[in-house]
Amino acid sequence: MNKSKIILLARELRKKQTPEEKLLWEELRNRRLNGLKFLRQHPIIYENDPNKGLLFFIADFYCAEKRLVIELDGKIHDFQKEYDANRDFILKQLNLRVLRIKNEELKDMKEVKRKILNC
């Protein structure tokens, strides 16, 4: 996949946010959390494979200042632990920090924000 298609995919995902993503986005957007800038559905390209093109992940949320990827984990993540572990490994190889937040944790937004700030 080329870069312009990746960007289009990220835009489509922004239009189809989950309720949990919308909830957290309201807390992060417009530098509302300690002045930090967060992007949502942000593409992270990790390899340019000659046969497959660009290999990438789309992070739920990304803060460049903290080099932090935030992933919201719904029920589906209970069944894709190996995929998530591999993805986290690759992101850490890019010197990015990964914070996984279970959807249920959003009920205590104060604690979620504390976790984000402590990363």
Helix (H) or strand (E) holding 49: strand 39-49
* Residue 21 in tokens: 């993503």
Q: What is the pLDDT of residue 79?
A: 65
* pLDDT 10s digits, 39-98: 999 999 999 988 888 999 999 999 999 999 999 998 765 667 888 899 999 999 999 999
Domain 3-117 matching CATH 3.40.50.720: the answer reads no
- Tokens 């589906």 identify what position? 76
Length reported for the chain: 119
Q: What is the pLDDT of residue 77?
A: 53
For the entire predicted model, the pTM comes to 0.91
CB 40 within 8 A of CB 58: no
Residue 80: predicted pLDDT: 75
Domains of the chain: which residue ranges?
Answer: 3-117
